[in-house]
């Protein structure tokens, strides 16, 4: 299994490690629920160095992204701006979801998921070659110029980052959400995967352990992938491989808002999406009884059956919640039933965003 540069830090903090797509990553450091609360109420940090940063540059870098991605990079109006997008195959299925940062004239940083990085890079390189566009792709996960990524999230996250990295305060303090600043090989972005304020810090791998230790000393709680999953679920954010995959259209995974079908621009998967309109609505569920909603469970609605794609217990709401693909006629407020083992349990359909900035929305 592959280890990130922070592996020793995790072991020293008593992490329980698990195999996450071939990466040996912390699941939790004692209590997943306490880590979850730390992010909602204070500040927590995640090692996300298993995700892969890819630098893209060249005369036709923008032209390449305009054809490659379902979202439109023309929306990146100024350097530092970030855009969430899916990357589709010809049948309109999701190869991966990613964030692309606009760094400067024909220069971008793309961050893709850990377990899909190899396939993503192969796909990107093949499309570039097919289209004969001048753009170089440089993955930054391994080797001499490897980068590490630490996400610091929570209401006190930014303040604690400034305390530890005072020299970064001036540039990072004024960042609006979904914008980054770059100094040398350090990139600080006001992004995250928790529904809380915070930064994702990308830096040279050799500097990561010192930053992790300094943040921990400042009171930022190390958090594992367990808390990361319940936080993103409460925030209504999709997880690749669960809520979407190569056989699922982004329109059926609640990602219609990230797909640009308005502009004239052609991109991979556009023809397929236009030919196959949305089949499902992607909505949230709150279980009204005791139990835990899980992926793959069947949802009975009065319009037909649907399926849960992600489910767990919400530590903030103290109830079980889920993301589900439901029939198109299903709507917020509907009463539905979920099949859990041999029982039918009552659930309510809600907007798929349960908690934001520490506040329950359902």
Residues of this chain that bind another protein (CB under 8 A): 16, 27-28, 31-33, 226, 230, 290-292, 294, 312-313, 315, 320, 341
Nearer to another protein, 28 or 128 (CB): 28
Q: Are 308 and 251 in contact (CB under 8 A)?
A: no
Minimum distance of another protein from residue 315's CB (angstroms): 7
Q: How far is the CB of 312 from another protein (least distance, A)?
A: 6
Residue 27, CA distances (Å) to 293, 321, 347 in order = 20, 20, 29
User: What are the DSSP calls for 237-281, one per residue?
Assistant: ---BTTTB-TTS-GGGGT-GGG---SSS---TTHHHHHHS---EE
- Rounded Cα gap, residues 222 and 44, in angstroms: 6
How far is the CA of 297 from the CAs of 228, 294, 348, in angstroms? 22, 6, 15
Nearest to 126 by CA among 139, 114, 135: 135
**Torsion over CA: 227, 232, 235, 236 (sign):** negative
Helix or strand run (H / E) with residue 29? none
Shortest spacing between CB 176 and another protein, in angstroms = 33
Per the document, the length of the chain is 362
- Give the ranges where the chain is alpha helix by DSSP (H): 7-12, 32-41, 61-68, 117-131, 157-164, 169-173, 208-217, 225-234, 270-275
Please, what is the minimum distance in Å from the beta carbon of residue 48 to another protein?
A: 19
Rank residues 31 and 263 by Cβ distance to another protein and give the closer one.
Answer: 31
- CB of residue 243 vs another protein: minimum separation in angstroms? 18
Nearer to another protein, 224 or 269 (CB): 224
Phi, psi values for residue 230, rounded to 5° = -70, -30
- Rounded to a whole number of angstroms, the minimum distance from the CB of residue 325 to another protein is 21
**Nearest-approach distance from CB 227 to another protein, in angstroms:** 9
Q: CB of residue 341 vs another protein: minimum separation in angstroms?
A: 7
**What sign results for the dihedral spanned by CA atoms 342, 344, 345, 347?**
positive
In angstroms, what is the minimal distance from the CB of 355 to another protein?
15
Contact 162, 153 (CB under 8 A): no
For the chain, the 3-state helix, strand and coil shares in percent, each to the nearest 5, are 25, 35, 40
């Amino acid at each position: 299994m592959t280890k990130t540069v922070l592996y020793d830090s995790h072991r020293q903090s008593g992490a329980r490690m698990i195999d996450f797509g071939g990466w040996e990553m912390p699941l939790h450091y004692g209590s997943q629920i306490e880590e979850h609360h730390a992010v909602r109420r204070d500040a927590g940090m995640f090692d996300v160095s298993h995700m892969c940063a890819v630098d893209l540059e060249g005369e036709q870098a923008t032209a390449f992204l305009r054809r490659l991605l379902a979202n439109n990079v023309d929306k990146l109006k100024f350097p530092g701006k970030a855009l969430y997008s899916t990357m589709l195959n010809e049948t309109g299925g999701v190869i991966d979801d990613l964030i692309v940062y606009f760094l400067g004239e024909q220069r971008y940083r793309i961050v893709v998921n850990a377990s899909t990085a190899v396939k993503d890079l192969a796909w990107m390189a093949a499309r570039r070659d097919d289209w004969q566009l001048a753009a170089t792709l440089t993955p930054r996960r391994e080797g001499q110029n490897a980068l590490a990524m630490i996400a610091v999230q929570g209401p006190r996250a930014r303040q604690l980052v400034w305390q530890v990295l005072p020299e970064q305060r001036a540039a990072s303090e004024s960042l609006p959400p979904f914008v980054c600043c770059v100094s040398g090989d350090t990139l600080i972005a006001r992004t995250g995967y928790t529904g809380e304020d915070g930064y994702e810090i990308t830096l040279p791998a050799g500097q990561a352990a010192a930053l992790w230790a300094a943040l921990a000393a400042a009171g930022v709680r190390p958090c594992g992938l367990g808390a990361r999953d319940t936080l993103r679920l409460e925030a209504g954010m999709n997880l690749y491989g669960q809520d979407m995959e190569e056989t699922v259209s982004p329109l059926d995974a609640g990602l219609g808002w990230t797909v640009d079908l308005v502009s004239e621009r052609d991109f991979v998967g556009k023809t397929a999406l236009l030919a196959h309109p949305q089949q499902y609505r992607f909505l949230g569920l709150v279980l009204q009884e005791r139990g835990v909603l899980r992926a793959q469970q069947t949802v009975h609605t009065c319009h037909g059956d649907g399926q849960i794609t992600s489910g767990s217990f919400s530590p903030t709401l103290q109830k079980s919640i889920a993301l589900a693909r439901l029939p198109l006629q299903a709507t917020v407020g509907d009463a539905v039933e979920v099949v859990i083992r041999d029982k039918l349990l009552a659930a309510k359909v809600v907007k798929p965003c349960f908690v934001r900035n520490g506040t329950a929305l359902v």
